[in-house]
Structures are given as C-alpha cells and as structure tokens.
Structure 1
Amino acid sequence: MIPPLSSPFPSEISPHVEEIQAATMAWAAAHRLLDPHHTRQFLRARYGELAARVYPYATRERLQIGADLCTWLFAADDVIFETSRGVADTARLIPDMWRVLEGGQAREPTPFTEALADLRERIDRYDRGSGALRRWADAMITYALSQAWEAANRELTLVPSLDDYRCMRRDTGAMFTVFAIIPLATGLPLTERQWTDPDVRAATVAAVDVVVYDNDLFSYAKERLGPNAPNNLVAVLVAAGRTLRQAIAETVAMREAALARMRAACERDRGGAPEVQAYLRGLGCWISGSVDYSASSSRYATML
C-alpha cells in the first residue's frame, strides 16, 4: 500500500561501501554492542551501506565515523530503547550518556557509553573548533531525552496526538545527530552564522521531516504489532480515525509538503558559500540515500 517514494536528488554510493560495512561490524563487535542475535540482524541489514549512500562524498575515514554513528543509533534503538523497557529504566540511562557527550566519564560504563565516547573522540579530532562537535553532542543529548517520551508511550500503550508526535518525531528520529556531522563528512565546516541561517535551518528541519516520515512509512508494517507501535505517524493517524489507506496517503502528503519546503529553502540559498552548498547537498544525499536503502533493507522487509 506504500507508493514509491521519489527524491529529486541524485542517488549516489561511496566506492568504500564494502570496506565500511566490514569495518562498522568490526567496530560494533569490538565495543560489544550486539549479542549473536542482533549481530546476525545487523549483518543482513548492512548499515554500512546506508552510510555509504547518505555520505557518499566523504573520505574513507570520515565516512567510517558516519557509519559507526548510524550503527550506534540502530543498536541503541534495538537493544536499549525500542524494547519493553519502561520510562524509569530509560531515563536512568540518560545521565551517563550526557556525561560522556560533555566529555566526562560514565559512572556506570556500558558498551554503549564506551562506544559513544569513542565516537565523541573521533568527531572532536576532525572538529578543529568548527562547532560540529558541540552541535552533534547537543543533538545527541536531545535525542536521548526524547527516548523517555517514546518509552512513556510504550509503557502506557499511549498513541500521542498528531501535534505532539510531529513535534517530538524530529528528535526521536535522531536525524539532527546525523545531519550535524555532514560538515565533518564534507570537510567543509560551517560557521555558527551559516549553521543558524534561517534558510539553512528551514532546509534542515524540512529534511528531517522527510526522512522520519519516510522511515515511518517503511517501518509501519513491521512495527504495528510490536511494543513501539504507538510511535509511528501512520499509527497516530489511524488512532485519530483515518483508515489505513487514508493514513498512508496523508503521511505521504506530509512527506511531499516537507520535501517542497526543503527544496524551496535550498533554492533561496542557491549561489551561497561553497560550504553551505556542500551541506545542502548532504541533506539531499540523506533523502535519496535513505529511500534507496530502506526500499531494499531487511530491517523493513515485512510488508503490508
């Protein structure tokens, strides 16, 4: 029932895709993020390929950071957050994540806080005062806090309102975290003035909406009977009285409206600084790359 999702941006993939896939699995194993069951799932899902599609322009070393970050986020979702864990247990995980993101040490280290510290150190190495590390850390902290809201929805089997969901989905989807390292991946850092430019922010927020709505469409069939069922835009719309067909069509329409906003913001900034153009191109790569990846990934293989 999900129609093909188009993207006006070119589809690209890094020539380092196979190296990246092998290396990110080795990284996850070295940090003990996955048990044997999840290791098999991650091998099939090929999250290194996702990174190769969404950061296709990055050098081998910078692409590896993006791949490991994506792997950490998927592992955190599968192993920690998107389980039957209650809101209190989820909330107790956040302070140590916060300490690590601020450059400190976890009081009760886990494989996830140790891997997070490794990511922070590597991003800091390439940051060189550009602000990318601070933006990424802030986005990660907000992402972690938003997981307590999702956990409450799961624990209470509560389907949020449409307004609440659209507000929170921008953070629960972790897209600000992966967009924050686009300038690191391009090798062209943004100044704070460029990062906060109204058109750049508008393009960023709109691109976040496109990718998370796409993810909800791809994941609904697999999630609808699981513990995370309330945290999906299609489910929110069904709970509000739409039929499933209407909910899917409305989600696609919201996705297309966000894509139009993103393209309009990019058009207003056409001819801007090279580093800004590289960042906006990076947003487009995330939209096209995530569609290409999700359409064939085993992570979303269950169909309606």
Structure 2
Amino acid sequence: METQTLHIPALEFPTPSAISPLAEEVQVHTFKWAHEFRLESPEKLKRFNKGKFGWYAAREYPAANYEELCLVGDLITWLFTIDDKCDRFSSGTLEGAWLRNMLNGFIAIMEHRESAVETPLNDALINIRSRFQRLSPPFLYSLFCKEMVSYFEECLWETEMQEGEYSPSIREYLQWRPKTGFYIMFPLVSIFGKIDLPEEVYEHWLVKKIELLLNLTANLANDLHSLERERELKTKGLNLVLIYEQELGISLEEAIQQISDEYHRNLLTLEEHRASLPFWSPDINAQLDVYIDGLYIAIKAYFDWALIDTERYKSKV
C-alpha cells in the first residue's frame, strides 16, 4: 500500500538564529570524547559526526566558551545515545529489564549514588556530572540533576509503554512529554550566562509556565518534523499527531492542522505571559529577560539543527 504524502506546515520560531564560531572545533572534540568513553562501537561512531551534536551545542549557547560548549556537545551526544537505545527497543522481556536497570542506574548516578549496572555509559555520565558540578552554582546544579532524573523517569515510562504495546492518551502525553529533554538545557542558560536570579524567581508560577509552554511548543514542532519518519516505524513513539488521530477519531491531515494551530496559539500565549511577569527590581528583571531570551535561543537551536544542519527527520523512503 502506497504511503500517503503529507503536507507538513512550515513552522517559524520568533528568535533570530545564532551559532558560535567554535561549532566545528566542538564537533571534533565531541567525536573524540564519544570514542574515549566507548559510547558506540568504532564502526557506529561515524553517526555522531552525522548528528552534528557539536553544532547543536554551538547553536544553543552561542556566547558560551569552548569548555562549556564541549560539555554541552558531550551531554547531547550522550543523551541521543540513550534516546536511540530506548526509542525502538525490541519488546522482549530481557531487553526491557536491562533497559530499566540501566536507566535506574543513571538515576542513582545523578543522585550521587552508585549504579547497580556496569556499562561504559556510566563513566561518561559521571564525567558529565562532575564537569557540571565544577561549573555550576549549587542551586542550578541541583536543577540540572533534577531534570536529568526526570528525563530518565520518562524513558522508563516509554519502556513500559512499548512493552505493553499501547498508545498513550493526550493526558499522558502532556504529563510525560515535557520530561523528554528540553528542560535539561534550561539551567545551562543561567550557568553559562552567569545569571544570578533568586530562587523565588525561577520558582515563580509564571516563569514555570513560560518554561513549560516553550518545552511543549518545541515538542509540537518536533512531532510535526518527525511525523514522516514515525509513520515508517513499526513501533510508534510519543507523537501527538498520531495520538490526536487515534484518540479524537480525526484524519491525519486534521490532526496535523490541529497541532499546527496549537503551536501558533502557544507562541501568542508566550508573548502574553512575558508581558505579565511581575516586577522584582531593575537588575532582577533585566537578568530574567536575558534568561528567557536564552531559553528562546535554546529552542531556536533545535529548529536550525534539525532542519538546516542535519537531515535527522527526513523520510528514509
């Protein structure tokens, strides 16, 4: 049966593109780091250059220094290694059990405990954790660790979802999808930008709402960008277009349009939220503006990396 050709709407994100001139140097470092920590077999390492994770890091934090960008490039490389291992694993009981033990081991490492599973990925994660701890103020480091743990918890949930061979509901998507990676990058905006905001500002409900909406908006874009590839896979992933189609009983074209409409509504709501932020002091609000601008740049980086730098979400047909 011939696969239906879909029209995926072009999505613009309202922030100028930026990239560090160190992108290629960071890419070279990240490839060497992945080899040093044995993230993949030598024959599979080439995919890390194709992934251009060093470029992704350079787009997320264009003003960061070389050491900081190398750390982000290594983190992204590590995260995508885990994502690929968890994304489409066989539903066999042994493999699922191994993945769960491995992920629980990563949680232990981020909580400064020992993993019960031996894997080279542990050493790479400890290396990343230690470098972030040296660079970060205690509060921002704790936020980074917290978001890493949330990501692993989401991976555990997706493992159970695939083993059970069921499609998540819209409610489950909204609960779990924000934990899939973008949040990890948010504390880094303040760490690398030397932003010194009071904890109460980071925890303010409207700041949290902006972070959540940015996260969900980026994921809506990702779901549209990856839709063609998702449809080719036997095991469907966490894609809201496909969930809408199934749960709402609508056509795929209608689901695409609804996701696109929601994406644009989110952008308008984000503008309204930014305009409604309370006033703390001239210095605090100026730093908060820098922080939120940094979040926008980190999200824009995804668009440019996914659609310009790589062909990650192009159909394999």
Partner of 1:176: 183
Q: How does 1:75-224 map to 2 (within 5 A)?
A: 75-84=81-90, 87-129=96-138, 131-171=139-179, 173-224=180-231
Which one has the largest radius of gyration? 2
Aligned residues of 2:137 and 2:191 also touching (Cα < 8 A)? no
Superposition deviation, residue 5 in structure 1: 0.8
Per-residue CA deviations over 1:5-62 (Å, capped at 9, x if unaligned) read: 1011111111111111111111111111122454222211211111111211222222
Q: Distance in 2 between matches of 1:288 and 1:95?
A: 31
**TM-score normalized with structure 2 length:** 0.88
Pair 82,36 (structure 1): closer, same or farther in 2 beyond 3 Å: farther
When structure 1 is superposed on structure 2, of 98-107 and 203-212 the one drifting more is: 98-107
Q: How does 1:201-280 map to 2 (within 5 A)?
A: 201-226=208-233, 228-240=235-247, 241-269=249-277, 272-280=284-292
* Structure 2, unaligned runs of 5 or more: 1-6
Pair 266,58 (structure 1): closer, same or farther in 2 beyond 3 Å: farther
Aligned residues of 2:306 and 2:313 also touching (Cα < 8 A)? yes
Q: Distance in 2 between matches of 1:263 and 1:65?
A: 31
Q: Distance in 1 between matches of 2:26 and 2:183?
A: 22
Superposition deviation, residue 81 in structure 1: 4.6
Pair 274,82 (structure 1): closer, same or farther in 2 beyond 3 Å: farther
Pair 209,303 (structure 1): closer, same or farther in 2 beyond 3 Å: farther
* Structure 1, unaligned runs of 5 or more: none
Pair 266,27 (structure 1): closer, same or farther in 2 beyond 3 Å: farther
Aligned residues of 2:8 and 2:224 also touching (Cα < 8 A)? yes
Is 1:4 paired with 2:24?
A: no
Superposition deviation, residue 290 in structure 1: 1.1
Pair 29,228 (structure 1): closer, same or farther in 2 beyond 3 Å: farther
Amino acid at match of 1:42: F
Pair 224,124 (structure 1): closer, same or farther in 2 beyond 3 Å: same
Is 1:15 paired with 2:21?
A: yes
Q: Distance in 2 between matches of 1:250 and 1:6?
A: 16
Superposition deviation, residue 196 in structure 1: 0.4
Is 1:302 paired with 2:309?
A: no
Superposition deviation, residue 87 in structure 1: 4.4
RMSD after superposition: 2.0
**TM-score normalized with structure 1 length:** 0.92
Amino acid at match of 2:41: D
When structure 1 is superposed on structure 2, of 201-210 and 99-108 the one drifting more is: 99-108
Aligned residues of 1:206 and 1:258 also touching (Cα < 8 A)? yes
